[in-house]
Amino acid sequence: MHFKHLCELADLRRELNATRAALDELRAATLARQQAEAALAELYRERAIARARAAERDPALPLN
């Protein structure tokens, strides 16, 4: 009976290690996605600034 319990414990430990590895992969993927979203937001911001700088203002229009 003791051997059976040891075998079951070993199986559960292997399953736990596999689950932890999958969780680590998901965390890494989530972090990569968040970093990509932040980089994309920065690119959009830079593009908007560049467009604003490139836009010509009509001198006849008031500033406000």
Let me know if residue 58 belongs to a domain.
no
pLDDT of 38 reads 98
pLDDT tens digit sequence for 23-52: 999 999 999 999 999 999 999 999 999 999
pLDDT at position 21 over 80: yes
The vertex-14 CA angle with 9 and 18, nearest 5°, equals 145
Let me know if residue 61 belongs to a domain.
no
Mean pLDDT of the chain: 94
Let me know if residue 22 belongs to a domain.
yes
pLDDT of 2 reads 93
Let me know if residue 33 belongs to a domain.
yes
Let me know if residue 1 belongs to a domain.
yes
In the chain, the number of structural domains is 1
Q: Measured between alpha carbons, how far is residue 61 from residues 3, 23, 26, 54, 64 in Å?
A: 88, 58, 54, 17, 9
Let me know if residue 38 belongs to a domain.
yes
Among 39, 19, 42, CA closest to 31? 39
pLDDT tens digit sequence for 46-63: 999 999 998 888 788 887
Domain range for 47 is 1-52
Let me know if residue 59 belongs to a domain.
no
